[in-house]
A and B are shown apart, each in its own frame.
Chain A
């Protein structure tokens, strides 16, 4: 993907953005990561909580209100007035996740300096990570239409499409190159990074925004994950959320965030004078040949080893692993076993952390949120703590635990796995690595 470092089509990251429960920008996210600040809280029980069979999530990390993206847009420093008004005019009518995506993308756009100097609009692409993003829109629309079909909101046909994210982002930013959504369940974020990097490597664009779409679960989707036992239920929950890989884990805790990385060819970044925050050194995506929620050590090992091979680095070069780590007992155990196979259990192995311990599981956006977090940690020189990890499921792996750690070398491996046997890993590199 990146080719040799001197190659002009090597892929670098020149901008980052995030908007979610954990943080409203990258500086705030860096603070949360460094201090191990967890955005998860126990939600209020639903009105029908006493009804037999009713259950709800133990912990969630949700936006405090629907107004968060609009306020973050108003507060975004240095945003040119034409972009602010295009964002307001276009995204004001959009569902909350699309508004959040616009704000995260604008943050990244500004950091990359694309408001000052940018390739022609036809050389800029946008890839949105996620699938089945709009069930909440459909449930809200159905409630209105049940009174009378005439009351279905007129924008429903537009808003019920995942691609509404792509369209709205392209409108606000004036992007005219390639655009699409990329779906791979909870691996969507990494898959979108791979797709964006390939777009650049193939010469189809010079800049590609990769945007992780905020997953805002509908009541039915939430219930579906609870029914499968994938999401931790409120019933029997401890007072504080156990971190992934802790023996107290009982399933994932959903989190809401949108995130954006600006990927760019090294040549384009150099020509614009844009600073490379990191390099996207390699990646791999493999399937298990399995349609269930049943992860496999083999698939995860193949993804990690494939990403390392493409990056041209060995396991010993990896300073830390940003794990997929959701808090699912089976998922955590499987990933721990895969990490043992790839990295061994020596004292000099990589640190392992799980950003979902702080953000919750951002589902479609998770891979992009975690790539943003990884680049921030590479830049700041720490590996974030996971304070909820007290009793690890695997004593042979070097989990960060309570304290931020310092990683050797300049490479991080970020895992992303999804229901249905999606396995992916990306290698991010410090620009001087």
Chain B
């Protein structure tokens, strides 16, 4: 029996762990600041006047407004905190499960330092307002490329390590890591496809509904494959280690893995329920979300039951405490997720803080506690010493737990309360009872409690940092050296060709192709595909009877062959993504739109839109009136039928701006038609002067508003020179701009800006500007026509503008039965026409 001595690379693990703790504290601190901004608008910069003793003067500071800090918080927590924690966990466990050192120290170094550079780049660009305007996908395109490259380096290093492993079998934790690497690469690349307009700006290739669908396919699965599957892999490795007993059921872990990977990828559309997303996609998202209950709880129970016989440790061992609570929070969050995906529940919860509470029970409870448990387990091993203080770790646990419970309970209460208030009507049933800002005022106590809960959780993590630092100081960095047996059995003997060209795979693939043909081919041709499918199935059964053992062996061998395993995982996730996205890419184009079709933005309005995106307004304001009565009553216009947001109204929006949370009201109908006699000036719900004063001081419009003021928009100039390139890219993406040269574009922007400025500084009751007290109206018009505030007002006044497209001879819609959503039968048609048994009896004369 050959043996070999291996020294593991634990330096990379230590580095990732330390950075995870540092970035975690930064991310959580930013989160706490952002939370306080919702209670006190002064936290958007005004507070700096007090703490700098007047050195800083101003109502706000652009770098720290909620719209810019919130993306920094989410990116820091997801990619910096959990990302680094995940890499630490993966590097440590993969080496031990493969019984080999990581394949390349150089690649590990590039991965580790490259990832930290990306985080630093994000920490600079996001507060600077450089964003793509898509949640958790905000980073600008050069950073996107860096992320993709570093991820590929991670993948190469990981798979290379698998290839040189000394353990033939692939433990289930490695399966979860494989799924993470493959799926995150796919999601990230597709959702970040963009065309640059400059080094710091780009437009996503998808627009409107397509962009929404791709975004939430990515966004949901970022939760699934970045925050869940790698942590499950970590659970399957570290929980048995901490409890010193094997996983409760290896069988259950197999079912857990495949069911989870296969189902998770389909559930993205549940983020777009009751919107203008086609109903079939909404139903798909809802159903697959409900199905997720089973594998998620299977995994949770498998984790908790691994502690059987080790529950006594719960009293003394902080690692077990964190893991047990973390897995329990996984169960709670994965129970709540499907619940919120039920359309009826989603009516209440969506766009409210209930979702925020749900997300944080996962992020703080599952990710945060699993991270802490892993750190406390790893630190003594990585520095060859004992944990500095078990009591401090226990204190971290209890402070963190109270923090999470406070946070989540506050957000549940706030979400349900606000959701109910927003839908409440007056006794006549035709008008709404509460103004939006009244509902915001009603949840202020909960907002403060949330900030306090978040602060407690942050304090807990600071204790963790102290504990780990002291532990490291009390020991020496240590790399484990072990003697391992070199396997004599064959591994990875299945090359790519054999993986694909064998009976089970060939039958499955061919079956899928025929199934698709049956779905998509026109009448009669689809029947032929169905017959071929049945014949193939019969032949497959015969084949299995003849070569059943061989087929079984193929699957057994799969568990020892990482390449075919990876391909199968890729196929599973690609199918789920393709079924959702491809039909929408093919169908949802402007030439298929009937009814409302979005009007194109003028150059100035486009510039204003980019400012809106840059300021992160989408973090608080949606642009999607859902197909729900309270939404239509609140945000629709009087005298317009079906005034929810239609699919065609945002079809040219790159990126879409439907939003995911309403801290402020929806803005889909904020704009309005052109003012009579003007080619440039529009007036919507409010006139230009209202917007001017509101952006300077939102408390002018309503004293209970928590929106930050935007004084810098009155100072900074609009980047008019960038517009020709931006419009060229929009045209490239399919937005039907008419041909304009550079000068025409710039002139058009200037003309509109001048016309809007005149409505502010000329005529009755002109507005004034403190920064230019002596300036005449004409001077103010000339100056402000170049400033950002005017471009933003132009955009606000354009929101919700559309034209109606009539099409000759469109197919007649088929009315559906409102209860079953099936075609009306003869009987239900009679009911529809009012013919009931009672009416018939009444109509017939009795003898």
Bound together:
no
Q: Which residues of A contact B (CB under 8 A)?
A: none
